[in-house]
Amino acid sequence: MEEIWKDINGYEGKYQISNLGRVKSLARTTTYNDGRKKFIIERILQPILCKIGYYSLGLSLDGVPSVVTIHRLVALTFIPNPENKRAVNHKNGVKTDNRVENLEWVTDSEIVLTILGSWVELVHSRGRQAH
């Protein structure tokens, strides 16, 4: 699959995200309040795995840092959400698989049904192993 890069909304010209779930910081020059300038080279950012199993990283805008999750950035950038659903689901259940084809917008109710379905499947598979 070809990797497609798009600007992250609100961070245009500073950061981009790809359809494969990679984030890069774009080359640019920033000016500090005291007039000093700093050149930033383009590079792929390394996300961290947070305690609940999702990849996240810090982005900075005008010196103000914010932590974002990769799956949500991919969904916001690449997946239309005409029904304004609130949550992003990993279709294959793997929280670290942030490819656009593995993500979908869902309602809170749909997330609960997905979790319950996974739980029921796990219970049934364990029951089959016991026999």
**Domains, in order of start, for the chain:** 5-130 (3.90.75.20)
- Structure letter (DSSP) for residue 35: S
Q: Which amino acid is at 44?
A: I
What is the Cα–Cα distance from 93 to 73, expressed in whole angstroms? 18
For residue 49, give every residue at least 6 positions away whose Cβ sits within 8 Å of its Cβ, in sequence order, or none: 55, 96
Per-residue pLDDT 10s for the chain (131 aa) are: 899 999 999 999 999 999 999 999 999 998 888 999 999 999 999 999 999 999 999 999 888 899 999 999 999 999 999 999 999 999 999 999 999 999 999 998 888 777 676 665 656 666 665 55
Tokens standing for 48?
A: 């961290």
pTM: 0.83
